[in-house]
């Protein structure tokens, strides 16, 4: 066993940490600042990062190798290991600024869209709606029929997050054979419509992807069951890693605040109620850190890792939610203010818990597998 | 980063896996009805003086296993090389215990050697250390007192110097097996000292004038710890373990080394309890469906415990400060095991509380583990102390 970061892993982690501190956390004040002294009635508007800043950040992230993490070396990328990606996403998780390297499955770089995905001129959304409940792809709504010159999709409608993307990756089930196919389709392809976009309680939106009379050329069928499973596991590891970052930020700020804030003549840090909240949080953080790293390491070693990734995501996202909740409580009134990052983490983590496998469903599946074994 | 065991550790793990499969698993039906005393490692002490033929029969089985393990070269794993042991890493010990825990037979590869006895010097080595390694002597650990448990720095037992001797006065609570032990590792303070200062460790033979074992005390877990009384007990200065006034460090070392074993033991026991649950619902698919989510949640927690335990053991091997990790593991392990057994009893219903039922036994044992060797509250205290000392950096990767 050697649980120290290698020199290369350390370099990657430090690069990401510096980027996050200098480029993201340094901009948070401006991003979180309320636009006017008095707000109009109603809920505050959805926040988004200024386009100009986003493209500058993308350029800088690309310069230091923190973009298109999956892009293979032979295509000019860094082909980062799953472990390195976890280290990077963990750092990006520390900032509330909505900016992070987008995960693009490596097989997409070999398609005609590869170059534009790599240079950032088009963005990708995963349309894996069915996987959010169970973390698996058992009941796919989209069915397809293979014809010599392409796949004909049955008309369908599924929910997608990130509806502003130009490309959508989605799994579908072949009629008859029950084989799973993984397709990519462009937003402007015939038969594709995005409708009913609504705000989420996070600063994102959700919309409906309508597919009507779509026929997809064969080169846009990118993979099968395993590739779909890998895509889900990669998302789960990304969510787990981001959760670790959220928790690190919440813990660090809470410790700092508890050291300084005085109530009834004593610092919060001396109060057992506060000490134990943070102690319990740190226990769970340690557990989630190592579950996530080990799952990523197993992926790199080509060992089985789907169940490990699902477990890491399940625990870590819940832990991040708990971390944000704890930070809000310890920061008191400031905790719920939108000028501080904690309420944003709180809303975001709540959503993350619902992506790529809900806790109860993952638990039930793991439990059923165990109870039905010999 | 590499989560694999080294080649050497993996080879050892495989040999133990084979030993468990070939020697322990076949004995499981036999041990299903073994007396309570064969739970945990207690058979090594009090059982040996029992005349009960039933107990003698189980003891003979265990001693047979010891011989087989010794012949297979699976003995004295954690004993230093200079004392003829294998001195394997903490990680290897965890891997070995993980294998042993796959069987319900309470068998351990080696005699219990209190790790602080490796501080023995001169004649102490032949008198105490070697006999413990060879299994000829056993020791008790005298730290807690009637008025100081979780916080041993409040101990009141005194060791007053008198020429080449110390005169010991005080009462110790809860040393397990003191009644059958050959000697006690006793902690006392020099007169006029307070807190962690002046604490000194003595090796005191059973039968030394002024030292008496007042009684043994029945507990929920079935262990019978003792109350020890010292009245003007004169002990020669050659019986001091380590340095005079430097006993606090020994006490800390004794506790620290055991935490990760507690973790992996709870890991194994938790899994066995869930397997009992599986048997209980084997023919009741509806019931199995109802409890599946809870069982699944516990399986995930068991994996988390395993990860925490290996990481802590690895850090201990790197000579890093593992006080916080050790507290983490002790807290997580004992609280988890307790919750899992509680759940299992809900599934089993009242039949699970029949005194000799495997769940009832596990239930009684698990309750004590949340207290012994530092209650959960002390573990949380240790963890928060590290957090406020080091900040979030305490959780940073290196």
Q: Which two three-digit tokens encode residue B326? A: 């050790």
Q: Do B398 and A4 touch (CB under 8 A)?
A: yes
pLDDT score for A176: 87
Task: Give CA–CA dist A169/A182, Å, rounded.
Answer: 7
A37 touching B (Cβ < 8 Å) = no
pLDDT score for A371: 96
In chain B, positions 320-339, which contact chain A (CB-CB < 8 Å)? 325, 328, 331-332
Q: Do B383 and A279 touch (CB under 8 A)?
A: yes
Full set of structural domains in chain A with CATH: 7-119 (1.10.540), 124-223 (2.40.110.10), 226-372 (1.20.140.10)
Q: Do B380 and A276 touch (CB under 8 A)?
A: yes
Q: What is the CA radius of gyration of chain B?
A: 22
> Could you tell me if B250 and B117 are in contact, meaning their C-beta atoms sit under 8 angstroms apart?
no
Q: Which of B392, B393, B398 to mutate to test the interface with A (most CBs of A within 10 A)?
A: B392
Chain A residues within 8 A of B277 when measuring between CB atoms: 371
Report the run of H or E that residue A171 belongs to, with start and end: strand A167-174
pLDDT score for A357: 94
pLDDT score for A41: 82
Q: Do B384 and A365 touch (CB under 8 A)?
A: no
Task: Give CA–CA dist A44/B214, Å, rounded.
Answer: 72
A314 touching B (Cβ < 8 Å) = yes
Using a 10 angstrom Cβ sphere, with 0-12 exposed, 13-18 middle and 19 or more buried, the burial of residue A264 is exposed
Q: Which two three-digit tokens encode residue B280? A: 């209980």
Q: Within 13 A of A283's CA, how many CA atoms are on the CB side?
A: 26
As a whole-number percent, the residues of chain A with pLDDT over 70 amount to 100
**What does DSSP assign to residue A122?**
S
- Residue A374: pLDDT band (50, 70, 90) is confident
Whole-structure pTM value: 0.94
Q: Do A13 and B387 touch (CB under 8 A)?
A: no
Task: Give CA–CA dist A101/A91, Å, rounded.
Answer: 11
Report the run of H or E that residue A158 belongs to, with start and end: strand A156-161
pLDDT in tens, A72-121: 877 777 789 999 999 999 999 999 999 999 888 988 988 889 888 888 88
A17 touching B (Cβ < 8 Å) = no
Average pLDDT across chain A, whole number: 93
pLDDT in tens, B252-308: 776 666 789 999 999 999 999 999 999 999 999 999 999 999 999 999 999 999 999
SS (H, E, C) chain B: CECCCCHHHHHHHHHHHHHHHHHHHHHHHHHCCCCHHHCCCHHHCHHHHCCCHHHHHHHHHHHHHHHHHHHCCCCCCCCCHHHCCCCCCHHHHHHHHHHHCCCCCCCCCCCCCCHHHHHCCCHHHHHHHHHHHHCCCCEEEECCECCECCCHHHCCCEEEEECCEEEEEEEEEEEECCCCCCEEEEEEECCCCCCCCCEEEEEEECCCCCEEEEEECCCCCCCCEEEEEEEEEEEEHHHEECCCCCHHHHHHHHHHHHHHHHHHHHHHHHHHHHHHHHHHCCCCHHHHHHHHHHHHHHHHHHHHHHHHHHHHHHHHHCCCCCHHHHHHHHHHHHHHHHHHHHHHHHHHHHHHHCCCCHHHHHHHHHHHHCCCCCCHHHHHHHHHHHHHHHHHHHHCCC
Q: Do B381 and A275 touch (CB under 8 A)?
A: yes
Chain A residues within 8 A of B294 when measuring between CB atoms: 363, 367
Count other C-beta atoms under 10 Å from residue B318's C-beta: 14
Look at residue A18 and tell me whether its pLDDT is greater than 90.
yes
Q: Do B296 and A311 touch (CB under 8 A)?
A: no
Q: Which residues pair with A146 in a beta bridge?
A: A151
Report the run of H or E that residue A186 belongs to, with start and end: strand A180-186
Q: Which residue of A has its CA nearest to B395?
A: A286
Strands B165-176 and B158-162: antiparallel
Count other C-beta atoms under 10 Å from residue B293's C-beta: 19
Strands A167-174 and A124-126: parallel
Residue A109, min C-alpha distance to chain B (Å): 28
ipTM of the complex: 0.94
Burial A309-321 (b: 16+ CB within 10 A, else e): bbbbbbbbbbbbb
How many residues in chain B? Answer: 398
Q: Which two three-digit tokens encode residue A334? A: 């400031």
Q: Which of B6, B307, B384 sits opposite A287 (nearest CB)?
A: B307
Q: Which residues pair with A172 in a beta bridge?
A: A181
Q: Which residues of chain B have pLDDT under 50?
A: none
Full set of structural domains in chain B with CATH: 7-100 (1.10.540), 139-245 (2.40.110.10), 252-395 (1.20.140.10)
Angle between helices B285-317 and A359-372 (to 10 degrees): 100
Q: Do A297 and B1 touch (CB under 8 A)?
A: yes
Task: Give CA–CA dist A332/A169, Å, rounded.
Answer: 42
Q: Do B392 and A251 touch (CB under 8 A)?
A: yes
Average pLDDT over residues A325-341: 96
Q: Which of A11, A85, A290 to mutate to test the interface with B (most CBs of B within 10 A)?
A: A290
Chain B residues within 8 A of A2 when measuring between CB atoms: 1-2
- Residue A44: pLDDT band (50, 70, 90) is confident
Average pLDDT over residues A298-305: 97
Residue B275, min C-alpha distance to chain A (Å): 8
How many residues in chain A? Answer: 374
């Amino acid at each position: 066993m050697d649980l120290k970061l290698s020199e290369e892993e350390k370099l990657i982690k430090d690069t990401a940490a510096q980027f996050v501190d200098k480029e993201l956390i340094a901009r948070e004040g401006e991003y979180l600042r309320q636009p006017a002294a008095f707000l109009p009635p109603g809920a505050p508007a959805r926040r988004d990062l200024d386009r100009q800043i986003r493209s500058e950040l993308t350029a800088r992230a690309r310069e230091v190798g923190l973009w298109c993490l999956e892009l293979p070396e032979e295509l000019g990328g860094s082909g980062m290991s799953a472990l390195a990606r976890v280290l990077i996403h963990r750092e990006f998780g520390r900032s509330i600024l909505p900016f992070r390297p987008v995960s693009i499955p490596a097989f997409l770089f070999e398609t005609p869209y590869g170059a534009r995905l790599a240079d950032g001129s088009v963005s990708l959304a995963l349309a894996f709606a069915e996987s959010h409940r169970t973390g698996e792809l058992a009941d796919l709504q989209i069915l397809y029929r293979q014809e010599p010159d392409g796949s004909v999709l049955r008309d369908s409608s599924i929910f997608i997050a990130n509806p502003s993307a130009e490309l959508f990756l989605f799994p579908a089930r072949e009629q008859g054979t029950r084989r799973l196919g993984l397709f990519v389709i462009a937003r402007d392809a015939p038969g594709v419509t995005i409708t009913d976009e609504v705000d989420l309680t996070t600063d994102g939106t959700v919309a409906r992807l309508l597919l009507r009379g779509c026929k997809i050329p064969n080169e846009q069928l990118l993979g099968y069951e395993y590739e779909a499973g890998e895509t889900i596991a990669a998302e789960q590891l990304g969510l787990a890693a981001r959760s670790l970052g959220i928790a690190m930020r919440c813990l660090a700020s809470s410790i700092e605040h508890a050291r300084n804030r005085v109530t009834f003549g004593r610092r919060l840090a001396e109060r057992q109620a506060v000490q134990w909240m943070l102690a319990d949080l740190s226990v769970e953080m340690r557990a989630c850190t190592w579950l996530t790293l080990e799952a990523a390491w197993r992926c790199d070693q080509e060992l089985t890792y789907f169940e490990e990734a699902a477990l890491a995501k399940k625990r870590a996202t819940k832990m991040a939610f708990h971390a944000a909740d704890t930070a809000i409580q310890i920061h008191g009134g400031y905790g719920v203010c939108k000028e501080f990052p904690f309420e944003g983490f709180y809303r975001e983590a709540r959503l993350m818990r619902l992506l790529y496998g809900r806790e109860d469903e993952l638990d039930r599946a793991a439990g059923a597998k165990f109870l039905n074994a010999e | 980063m590499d989560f694999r065991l080294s080649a050497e550790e993996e080879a050892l793990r495989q040999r133990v896996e084979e030993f468990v499969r070939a020697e322990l698993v076949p004995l499981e039906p036999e041990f299903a009805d073994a007396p309570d005393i064969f739970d945990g490692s207690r058979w090594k002490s009090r059982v040996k003086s029992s005349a009960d033929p039933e107990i003698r029969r189980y003891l003979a089985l265990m001693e047979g296993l010891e011989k087989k393990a010794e012949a297979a070269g699976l003995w004295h794993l954690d004993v230093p090389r200079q004392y003829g042991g294998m001195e394997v890493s903490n990680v290897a010990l965890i891997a070995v215990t993980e294998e042993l825990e796959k069987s319900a037979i309470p068998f351990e590869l080696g005699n219990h050697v209190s790790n602080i006895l490796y501080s023995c010097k001169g004649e102490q080595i032949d008198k105490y250390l070697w006999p413990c390694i060879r299994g000829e002597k056993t020791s008790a650990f005298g730290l807690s007192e009637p008025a100081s448990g979780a916080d041993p720095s409040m101990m009141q037992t005194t060791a007053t110097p008198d020429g080449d001797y110390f005169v010991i006065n005080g009462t110790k609570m809860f040393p397990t097996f003191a009644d059958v032990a050959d000697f006690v590792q006793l902690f006392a303070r020099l007169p006029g000292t307070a807190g962690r200062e002046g604490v000194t460790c003595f090796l005191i033979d059973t039968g030394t004038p002024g030292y008496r074992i007042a009684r043994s005390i029945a507990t929920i877990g079935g262990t019978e710890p003792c109350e020890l009384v010292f009245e003007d007990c004169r002990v020669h200065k050659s019986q001091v373990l380590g340095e005079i006034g430097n006993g606090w460090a020994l006490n800390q070392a004794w506790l620290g080394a055991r935490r990760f074993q507690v973790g992996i033991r709870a890991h194994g026991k938790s899994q066995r309890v869930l397997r009992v649950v599986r048997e209980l619902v084997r023919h009741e698919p509806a019931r199995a469906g109802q409890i599946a989510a809870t069982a699944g949640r516990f399986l995930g927690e068991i994996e988390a415990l395993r990860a925490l335990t290996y990481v802590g053991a690895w850090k201990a091997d790197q000579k890093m400060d593992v006080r916080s990790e050790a507290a983490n593991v002790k807290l997580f392990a004992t609280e988890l095991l307790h919750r899992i057994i509680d759940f299992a009893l809900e599934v089993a219903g009242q039949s699970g509380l029949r005194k000799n039922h495997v769940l009832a036994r596990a239930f009684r044992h698990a309750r004590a583990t949340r207290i012994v060797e530092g209650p959960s509250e002390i573990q949380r205290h240790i963890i928060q102390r590290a957090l406020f000392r080091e900040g979030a950096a305490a959780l940073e990767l290196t």
